[in-house]
Amino acid sequence: MPGDILETVHIAELDDESIELLGLYLKEMEELVRAKKIYLDRTREEIKAKWHENQLDDKKIYIAIPQ
């Protein structure tokens, strides 16, 4: 629902440089996507969820919103 606030959002398959760069903007991203917490994960195996593939520049990343 448009007015809902998500508990968590996970972004996975990030390298160390991407995690460092995106980490600077976590609070801003949480506000933009209406999430209480965004986690940056190196691999999808860390979280059991349905992952959605996306492009970030020239890299594939995966986003999940655990239920």
> Domain range holding 38?
6-64
Is 35 a member of any domain? yes
Does residue 30 form part of some domain?
A: yes
Tokens of 1: 């629902």
Positions of the chain with pLDDT lower than 70, given as ranges: none
* Count of domains observed in the chain: 1
* Separation of alpha carbons 24 and 67, rounded Å: 26
In a domain? residue 1: no
In a domain, 24, yes or no: yes
* pLDDT reported for residue 56: 82
Residue-wise over 33-66: b if at least 16 C-beta within 10 A, else e? eebeebebbeeeeeeebebeeeeeeeeebbbbee
pTM for the full model? 0.85
Residue 51, in any domain of the structure: yes
18 in a structural domain: yes
Domain annotation covers residue 33? yes
